[in-house]
């Protein structure tokens, strides 16, 4: 059994592996025109000509302190049913980590179907993706847009403008996915089996936002459908209000609306009577530093200066391991080999600190920063502090 780069000859078998793993179907006709992870960032496990495992890596960026860090979005990690328990997933993760390092991806983020194998390989919980459900009628209280914003159906020619707006917005968000063209093209590709409605917001003849929603059958007898807001973003709050007002107009036939929510969602502050959001659900994503020096150099940082001596433990990716000096000065940071190694830090702890999800204060209280002085803990807490990191997209 070998782990090897994905090639065209693996397409059909790899596709059916994904179908059986992530859907209720046992076989779906292969679609050669599917927009998916670029072939050069996919790996397969092959045994005697049979594809028995697959791992893909989306070439994304992820924003921290308004800096886009090269990130490998791991997805479609799957092993054939009859070959599970043989260590194939472990070998795929090992090869995937090496591939991301070679490709210049400083960090990696994923959504775990089970966290155990990813924790073993250094990924750690690092942020949230939150979905909430509200009464559609409540959205009528969203203040009207002050500027003149109109909506029209999305057209394929709008793609570049939509990507530019999306990435400009998510770069300002803690942990925001800066995805580029291919990912949004996939999201906006028409699917007759799963009809979605896409509109762009236009102001002064420019595309300034996107609304993508689906109609789903309600679980209760009243209403003809519910609304699922898959994507809603705009260049400013005025545009977003215009898009939410468009969703509100479904209230006569859609009693409820589900949406991906920011932790401190503007809707909490926009509605006159507040917002009662029911049935919240939260998924956690996991992140791992692939190249510790590149990751530290690429991230944005708060003002101030500090120096912390680290001893990074990373048995699965030893090129990261060893003693380093973390030096922060005026919104920049450098991780240089050397120093005393006073603070011992596991790669998983460092990864969770990196996104701002875990604080150094909490890590130290839990005994996960052995050797750290009070000054070290304060310096690390202040350096990595920020709002709760979140993602809008699931990949």
In the predicted model, what is the mean pLDDT of residues 85-96? 96
In this structure, what is the dihedral angle of CA atoms 27, 29, 32, 34, given to the nearest 10 degrees? -70
3-state SS track over 50-72 = EEEEEEEEEEEEEEECCEEEEEE
pLDDT digits (tens, 9 = 90+) for 119-168: 999 999 999 999 998 889 999 999 999 999 999 999 999 999 999 999 99
User: Where does CATH 3.30.1050.10 sit in the chain?
Assistant: 291-384
CATH class of 130-281: alpha beta
In the predicted model, what is the mean pLDDT of residues 36-40? 97
pLDDT digits (tens, 9 = 90+) for 210-267: 999 999 887 665 668 899 999 999 999 999 999 999 999 999 999 889 999 999 999 9
Can you tell me the distance from the alpha carbon of 110 to that of 119, in angstroms, rounded to the nearest whole number? 11
Q: Would you state the pLDDT for residue 4?
A: 98
Q: Would you state the pLDDT for residue 378?
A: 98
The alpha carbon of residue 299 and the mean position of all alpha carbons in its chain are separated, in whole angstroms, by: 16
Per cent of the chain over pLDDT 70 is 96
The alpha carbon of residue 331 and the mean position of all alpha carbons in its chain are separated, in whole angstroms, by: 24
What would the CATH number be for the domain defined by 2-122? 3.40.630.30
| pLDDT of 103 above 90 | yes
Q: Would you state the pLDDT for residue 223?
A: 62
pLDDT digits (tens, 9 = 90+) for 266-296: 998 888 766 666 667 889 999 999 999 999 9
Can you tell me the distance from the alpha carbon of 210 to that of 187, in angstroms, rounded to the nearest whole number? 12
- Three-state secondary-structure class, residue 204: coil
Q: Would you state the pLDDT for residue 273?
A: 66
Fold observed for domain 291-384: Nonspecific Lipid-transfer Protein; Chain A (3.30.1050)
Least confident among 13-27, 77-91, 171-185, 355-369: 13-27
pLDDT digits (tens, 9 = 90+) for 332-362: 999 999 999 999 999 999 999 999 999 999 9
Q: Would you state the pLDDT for residue 361?
A: 98
User: What DSSP string describes 325-369?
Assistant: EEEEETTEEEEEE-S---EEEEHHHHHHHHHTSS-HHHHHHTT-S
Q: Would you state the pLDDT for residue 271?
A: 83
Q: Are 326 and 289 in contact (CB under 8 A)?
A: no
Per cent of the chain over pLDDT 90 is 87
| pLDDT of 92 above 80 | yes
Q: What is the pTM of this model?
A: 0.94
Q: Would you state the pLDDT for residue 220?
A: 62
User: Where does CATH 3.40.630.30 sit in the chain?
Assistant: 2-122, 130-281
């Amino acid at each position: 059994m070998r782990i090897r780069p994905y090639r065209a000859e693996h397409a059909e078998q790899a596709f059916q592996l994904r179908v059986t793993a992530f859907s209720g179907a046992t076989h779906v006709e292969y679609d050669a025109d599917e927009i998916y992870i670029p072939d050069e960032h996919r790996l397969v496990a092959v045994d005697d000509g049979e594809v028995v495992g697959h791992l893909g890596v989306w070439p994304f960026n992820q924003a921290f302190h308004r800096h886009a860090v090269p990130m490998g979005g791991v997805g479609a990690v799957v092993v054939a049913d009859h070959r599970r328990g043989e260590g194939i997933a472990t070998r795929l993760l090992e090869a995937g980590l090496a591939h991301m390092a070679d490709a210049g991806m400083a960090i990696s983020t994923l959504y775990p179907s089970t966290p155990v194998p990813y924790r073993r390989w250094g990924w750690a919980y690092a942020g949230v993706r939150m979905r909430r459900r509200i009464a559609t009628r409540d959205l009528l209280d969203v203040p009207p847009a002050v500027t003149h914003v109109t909506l029209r159906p999305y057209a394929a020619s709008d793609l570049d403008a939509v990507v530019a707006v999306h990435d400009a917005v998510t770069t300002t968000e803690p942990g925001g996915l800066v995805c580029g063209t291919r990912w949004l093209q996939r999201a906006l590709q028409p699917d007759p089996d799963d009809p979605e409605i896409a509109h762009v917001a236009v102001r002064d003849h420019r595309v300034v936002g996107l609304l993508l929603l689906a109609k789903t059958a309600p679980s209760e007898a009243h209403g003809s459908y519910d609304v699922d807001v898959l994507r809603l973003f705009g260049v400013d709050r005025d545009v977003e209000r215009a898009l939410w007002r468009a969703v509100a107009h479904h209230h006569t036939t859609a009693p409820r609306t589900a949406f991906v929510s920011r932790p401190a969602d503007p809707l909490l502050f926009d509605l006159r009577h507040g917002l009662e959001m029911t049935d919240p659900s939260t998924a956690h994503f996991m992140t791992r530093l692939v190249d510790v020096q590149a990751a530290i150099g690429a991230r944005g940082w708060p003002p101030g200066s500090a120096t912390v001596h680290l001893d990074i433990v990373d048995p699965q990716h030893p090129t990261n391991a060893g003693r380093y000096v973390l030096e922060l000065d005026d919104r920049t940071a450098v991780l240089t080999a050397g120093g005393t190694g006073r603070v011992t830090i596991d790669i998983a702890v460092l990864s969770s600190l990196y996104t701002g999800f875990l604080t150094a204060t909490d890590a130290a209280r839990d005994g996960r920063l052995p050797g750290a002085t009070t000054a070290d803990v304060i310096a690390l807490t202040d350096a990595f502090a920020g709002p709760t990191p979140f993602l809008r997209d699931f990949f």
